[in-house]
C-alpha cells in the first residue's frame, strides 16, 4: 500500500509539471490549487502523502509559490505526529520561503510542550517579538518556566496647565472672617510643560493561575522654570490569586515646587467580570494621604471604579470617591467618568484619545 502511495506521489509531481495550478490531479480527484490539495490531505489526516509531497518539493527546490501551502500543513501534521526531527526540518525549510507567524507559533508551541524552555527563550528572542505577536505562547512559556518577566514603558507629551502655581481665582479671599486682597503674584499662572511618564514592571508566575507583580511608576511635569515642577513616584505590589482576582498594595509620594505635598498608602481589590460583555472590571480601594505641609489635606478615602466596553472599541470608566478629613470643610464625595478610544494609524502602533470629567457630589 505504501509503495502504491509513493508511486502516486511521483505521478502527482509529474502531472503538476504539465497542468496549470487549477488542474491538479491526485488519486482521481481534481484540485484547483496546491492549497486546496494540501488542505484536503491535512483535514483528511492523510499525513504521510502530505509530508512526502512537501519533502519532495523541498529537495527538488520547487518555488515558494508551490511549497507554501504544503509547508504550512506539513508543519501542523508533524506537530500532531509529535515528530521532533521532522518538525525541525520542515521549520528550517520554511524559513527560506516564509516569515509567516503560524510557523513560528507551531514551532514555539512544540518547544514549550516538550520542555525545551531554554531553546524556547532563545527562539523567542530570534523572533524579535517586540510587537507581542505571540502573547499567549509567550505567557505560557513564563508559566512553564517560572522565570521573572520584566517590561518597561516610557511616554512623553506636552501639557497645558492654566494654574501651575495653584493661585487664587478670586481677587479677594476670606480667611478667618477677614477679607484679604490677592496679590498679583498669587493669581493663576499659565504655562506649557513637558509631561514624562516611566513604568517598570516585573512579574513571576507562582502557579499556572497565580502570579506576583511589582511595579514602579514615575510621572513628572517640567515647566519653563525650575520652580513649580511636579513629580510623583509610585510603587505597588500585586498578588493575582485567581485569573479574575487581584489584591494590590501601593505607596507613593507627590512633590510640587521641590517640596513633598503629600504621601499616600492604599490597598485595593480588583475583580474581572466575565458574565457581562459590557462590564469588564470592578475595583474597590481604601487608603490614606498625609500632608507634611497642610494637615487639612490629610485624609482617608474609599474609591470604587468600574470599567465598561462600549461599541466601536470605545471604553468607559465610572468612579466614586469618598474623602474624609479631620476638618469638615475639606471632606467631600465625588463621581467621575471617562471615555477613551484607541486609534490605529499607519506606522503608529496606537494613539489613545481620552476625555475625563470629575464632579463633586456632596461637600460637607
Q: What is the pLDDT of residue 1?
A: 46
Yes or no: is domain 200-363 CATH 2.20.28? Answer: no
Pick 122 or 350 by higher pLDDT: 122
Domain extents in the chain: 2-145, 200-363
The model's pLDDT over 257-315, given as tens digits with 9 standing for 90+, comes to 778 888 999 999 999 887 766 788 899 999 998 888 777 778 899 999 998 887 777 88
Q: Using a cut of 0.85, tell me whether the model's pTM lies above it.
A: no
CATH number listed for the domain at residues 2-145: 1.25.40
Pick 329 or 171 by higher pLDDT: 329
Q: Give residue 342's pLDDT band: very low, low, confident or very high (50, 70, 90).
A: low
Q: What is the pLDDT of residue 304?
A: 93
Q: What is the pLDDT of residue 251?
A: 96
The model's pLDDT over 194-228, given as tens digits with 9 standing for 90+, comes to 888 999 999 999 988 899 999 999 998 887 766 66
Query: Please, what is the average pLDDT of the chain?
Result: 77
Q: Alpha-carbon distance 60 to 97, whole Å? A: 14
Q: What is the pLDDT of residue 214?
A: 95
Pick 208 or 18 by higher pLDDT: 208
Question: Over 60: is that where the pLDDT of 21 sits?
Answer: no
User: What CA–CA distances, in Å, run from 233 to 213, 248, 262, 264, 320?
Assistant: 17, 16, 12, 11, 24
The model's pLDDT over 66-109, given as tens digits with 9 standing for 90+, comes to 888 888 888 888 888 878 788 888 887 877 775 555 677 777 87
Q: What is the pLDDT of residue 311?
A: 78
Amino acid at each position: 500500500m505504501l509503495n502504491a502511495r509513493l508511486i502516486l506521489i511521483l505521478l502527482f509531481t509529474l502531472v503538476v509539471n504539465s497542468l496549470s495550478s487549477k488542474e491538479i490531479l491526485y488519486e482521481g480527484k481534481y484540485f484547483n490549487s496546491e492549497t486546496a490539495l494540501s488542505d484536503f490531505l491535512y483535514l483528511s489526516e492523510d499525513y504521510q502523502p502530505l509530508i512526502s509531497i512537501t519533502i519532495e518539493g523541498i529537495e527538488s527546490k520547487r518555488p515558494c509559490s508551490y511549497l507554501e501551502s504544503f509547508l504550512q500543513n506539513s508543519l501542523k501534521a508533524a506537530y500532531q505526529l509529535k515528530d521532533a526531527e521532522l518538525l525541525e526540518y520542515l521549520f528550517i525549510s520554511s524559513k527560506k520561503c516564509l516569515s509567516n507567524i503560524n510557523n513560528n507559533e507551531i514551532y514555539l508551541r512544540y518547544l514549550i510542550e516538550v520542555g525545551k524552555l531554554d531553546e524556547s527563550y532563545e527562539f523567542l528572542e530570534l523572533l524579535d517579538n517586540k510587537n507581542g505577536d505571540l502573547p499567549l505562547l509567550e505567557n505560557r512559556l513564563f508559566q512553564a518556566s517560572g522565570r521573572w518577566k520584566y517590561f518597561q514603558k516610557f511616554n512623553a507629551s506636552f501639557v497645558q496647565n492654566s494654574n501651575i502655581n495653584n493661585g487664587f481665582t478670586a481677587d479677594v479671599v476670606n480667611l478667618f472672617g477677614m477679607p484679604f486682597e490677592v496679590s498679583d503674584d498669587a493669581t493663576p499662572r499659565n504655562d506649557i510643560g513637558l509631561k514624562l511618564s516611566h513604568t517598570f514592571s516585573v512579574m513571576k508566575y507562582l502557579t499556572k493561575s497565580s502570579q506576583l507583580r511589582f511595579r514602579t511608576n514615575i510621572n513628572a511635569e517640567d515647566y519653563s522654570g525650575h520652580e513649580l515642577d511636579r513629580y510623583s513616584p509610585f510603587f505597588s505590589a500585586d498578588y493575582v490569586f485567581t485569573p479574575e482576582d487581584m489584591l494590590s498594595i501601593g505607596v507613593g509620594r507627590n512633590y510640587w515646587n521641590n517640596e513633598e505635598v503629600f504621601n499616600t498608602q492604599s490597598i485595593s481589590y480588583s475583580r474581572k467580570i466575565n458574565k457581562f460583555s459590557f462590564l469588564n472590571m470592578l475595583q474597590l480601594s481604601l487608603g490614606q494621604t498625609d500632608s507634611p505641609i497642610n494637615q487639612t489635606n490629610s485624609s482617608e478615602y474609599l474609591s470604587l471604579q468600574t470599567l465598561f466596553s462600549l461599541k466601536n472599541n470605545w471604553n468607559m470608566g465610572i468612579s466614586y470617591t469618598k474623602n474624609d478629613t479631620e476638618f469638615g470643610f475639606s471632606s467631600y464625595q465625588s463621581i467621575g467618568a471617562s471615555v477613551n478610544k484607541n486609534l490605529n494609524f499607519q506606522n503608529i502602533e496606537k494613539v489613545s484619545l481620552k476625555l475625563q470629567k470629575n464632579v463633586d457630589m456632596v461637600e460637607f
